[in-house]
Amino acid sequence: MAVDELQAIIQRCQILEEADFKGEDFNLFQVAGQKCLEDGYAAQLLEVIQNEKNKVIVKNMGWNLISPLVRCIFTYKQDDDKREHCLRILDQLAQLCNPKELFLGLLEQIEQTSGEQVCQTVMLLLQPLQTVLLKLQNKKAYSVGLSLAMIMNQLTPLPVPYTKQQIQEDKLGLCQCCNAVVDFAKPFVNEVVKNMEKSSEYSDMELKEELIKFCMKSLKYPLLTAQLEQLEGIEEHPFRHFATEIIDILWNTRELIPLVFVPHKVKSPPWENEEFAEVEQKNSADSLACLSYLVFVQHFGVEYFPVVFSPSYLLLCNMTHIEALLKRTEESVLSKGLDLFESCLLRMEDNSLLHPYLELRVFINVPQDLVKIMTLCPIENMRKKSLSILQLFIDKFDTEGKYTLFRCLLKTSNHAGVEGYIIKNIKDQIHLALMKEYDNIWFTGHHLISLLDLVLSLPEGAETDLLQNSDRIMASLNLLRYLVIKDCESDNQTGVWTTLGKIKQNFLKPLRVGLNMSKAHYEAEIKNKKENRKEAHSSNPVCSVTVSGEKMPAMTTGMQLQVLHSALFTFDLIESVLARVEELIEGKTKGVMDEN
């Protein structure tokens, strides 16, 4: 019945001129063709489409069959003959239909797909879409760009497989689809390359720009969040293959080196809305950061780069990319930022990075971002790696650079553990300065005194929370003890003896007062807890603790006492080092007086 209806419409249209086709004819053809497909008459429909007499009809009306055709293809199993007939129909439509009409029909079908069928639909329609685009004469670049943008927009919401198992399973087909899209773009890349070879001044830049936009989108998704390390058991990593293809496109279109070393090369559309402009700028920054990661960490396309760039220049070029990556919270992106930073630093010799680089804001922002990761990131290996990279960064600077960086981090870190770590680094630099034969003006004399004013002080005097600042205080006391032992008052290379009165007034005395107050408070609290233990056990045996807005497990009185005793132990530790420092100062001062 369905085939008879289709034949009737075909016979009626065969006697009409192309210009005489009406809207009613299009609708009748679509309905009859769709019924043939749904009723299982795909073979008969294929015969109709292949019939030379129906060429004009198919050219004008065939594109209407795309939607029902795709639905039917997905209903049949892979080995079903009817599915094979449907695929041949799709191929015939790509060859015979009006390119412009079929192009819009294919894009509409891609746009309407969603969920688990996105990759299947895209891979199904890539070949006919490519065939149609190659036929287009007018607005070809625009059509290619629109197709790639539509495809990438449909893929972007899909989760990127990350683990080895997820990549091997490729449940939604994203890995396979991404590489199919690159193959889809190759004829257009070849066209651009061919035209560029013909003329050194290639004038038609539109198609090239559309391909660059596609590469930039691909760098942002899926490559920015993808796992790109070599995985054992996977012979050809799909995302590594995809990355290689993207790098090759950029190289063949002569854009790879300019994008890596001249970030402003990327052209963004002029947005009147500032919010849109900011999103576009952020997307571009993420893409360029991913590109740098591919080149300098994974070494994709590294063979294309001349070995003429100094390590410090490579670091300079990459610092904005490192900053962009370190501000992200996703593990897959954050790890790329840390790897890129580490890779750049390992190329450099210690003490080779000149202090004027710190005049660039990004050279201050990045270590501050590292501090945030060290103190706030929930992933332990990320925190540890951030700390080791911070030390690498410190080691690469010249002496004045280290001095400036220490001052900056002491003022901005707002974390006692980080401040303690920086103070330990200051102690190491003072040690090197005292051991060397030549003068080191930055960690001796008046420069050091200025730095010690920051180090040997309590943020809020005697009322400082000693428990919270214990790491910093212990590091400061250890530094002062070292200075008193190593630097004789007669030599006074560090200047510590000159400023000793100030140190006592601003650090040692308030610390002693603070310790006495804190110990008295905690001892009284312990006594109170012990006296009221029975009463607390019978009425309210627990206390609740809230951290960052989240209620923590309730604490028993015994647990509270344990915490209080631990605090007292910390105060005793600080007091023992303080007593030793005071003893050393008194002993050295008395010795000098006796000599006099």
Mean pLDDT, range 169-173, rounded to an integer:
93
> Six-digit token pair at 540?
């309210």
Residue 29 near residue 9 (C-beta atoms within 8 A): yes
Q: What is the pLDDT of residue 17?
A: 61
- Does the pLDDT at position 31 exceed 80? no
Q: Which residues pair with 550 in a beta bridge?
A: 547
Question: 542 φ, ψ to 5°?
Answer: -130, 160
Average pLDDT of span 527-547: 59
* pLDDT tens-digit readout, 360-384: 999 999 999 999 999 999 999 999 9
Question: What does the pLDDT read at residue 495?
Answer: 87
Q: Is the pLDDT of residue 68 over 60?
A: yes
CB environment 374-395: b (16+ within 10 A), e (fewer): beebeeeebeebbbebbebbbb
Whether the Cβ atoms of residue 484 and residue 584 lie closer than 8 Å to each other: yes
Q: What is the pLDDT of residue 314?
A: 94
pLDDT at 137: 80
Do the beta carbons of residue 514 and residue 463 sit within 8 Å?
yes
pLDDT-based confidence at 18, cuts 50/70/90? low
Percentage above 90 pLDDT, the chain: 55
CA distances from 165 to 189, 232, 335, 503 (A): 33, 11, 20, 60
Is pLDDT above 60 for 97? yes
Band (522; pLDDT cuts 50, 70, 90): confident
CA 334 – CA 330 distance, rounded (Å): 6
Of 541, 570, 377, nearest in space to 469 by CA: 570
Q: Coil, strand or helix: which one is 506? A: helix
Lowest mean pLDDT among 115-129, 301-315, 393-407: 301-315
Asked whether the predicted pLDDT for residue 425 surpasses 50, the reply is yes
> For the whole prediction, is pTM greater than 0.75?
yes
Helices within 347-379 (DSSP H only)? 361-376
Across the range 213-239, mean pLDDT stands at 92
Task: Give the residue-averaged pLDDT of 341-348.
Answer: 97
Q: To the nearest 5 percent, what fractions of the chain are helix, strand and coil? A: 75, 5, 25
* Count of CA atoms in the C-beta half-sphere (13 A) of 468: 8
pLDDT for 438? 62
Q: Is 98 left (phi over 0), alpha (psi -120 to 50) or beta?
A: beta
pLDDT the model gives residue 234? 82
- Over residues 116-139, mean pLDDT: 92
Is the bond into 128 cis (omega within 30 degrees of 0)? no
Least confident stretch, 181-185, 281-285, 399-403, 405-409: 281-285
Distance CA 394, CA 345 (A): 10
Comparing 520 with 354, the larger pLDDT belongs to 354
Q: Residue 178: pLDDT above 50?
A: yes
Q: Give me the mean pLDDT over the 434-452 stretch.
A: 85
Angstrom distance (rounded) from CA 481 to CA 455: 13
Q: Place 198 in a pLDDT band, splitting at 50, 70 and 90.
A: confident
**Is residue 25 very low, low, confident or very high in pLDDT (cuts 50, 70, 90)?**
low
The secondary structure element, H or E, covering residue 544 is: strand 542-547
Mean pLDDT of 295-302: 94
Give the start-to-end residue ranges of the domains of the chain.
398-533+553-595
pLDDT band at 548 (very low <50, low <70, confident <90, very high): very low
**pLDDT tens digits, 144-162:** 999 999 999 999 999 999 9
- Residues 508 and 582 sit within 8 Å (Cβ to Cβ): yes
Among 12-21, 134-143, 211-220, 520-529, the least confident range: 12-21
Average pLDDT score, the chain? 86
34: CB partners within 8 A, 6+ apart = 65, 68
Is a pLDDT exceeding 60 seen at residue 55?
Answer: yes
Residue 419: the pLDDT is 96
Distances (CA, A) of 467 to 127, 414, 453, 557: 67, 15, 21, 20
Are 465 and 416 a contacting pair, CB within 8 Å? no
Residue found by looking up tokens 């010249």 in the block:
398
* pLDDT score of 174 more than 80: yes
Q: What mean pLDDT comes out for the span 585-589?
A: 81
536: pLDDT strictly greater than 70 = no
Over the stretch 231-277, which tens digit does the pLDDT of each residue have?
A: 887 888 999 999 999 999 999 999 999 999 875 444 555 545 566 55
Quickly list DSSP for 431-455. HHHHHSSS--TTSSHHHHHHHHHHH
Is it the case that residue 538 has pLDDT exceeding 80?
no
Cβ neighbours of residue 182 closer than 8 Å, sequence gap 6 or more: 242, 245, 246, 249
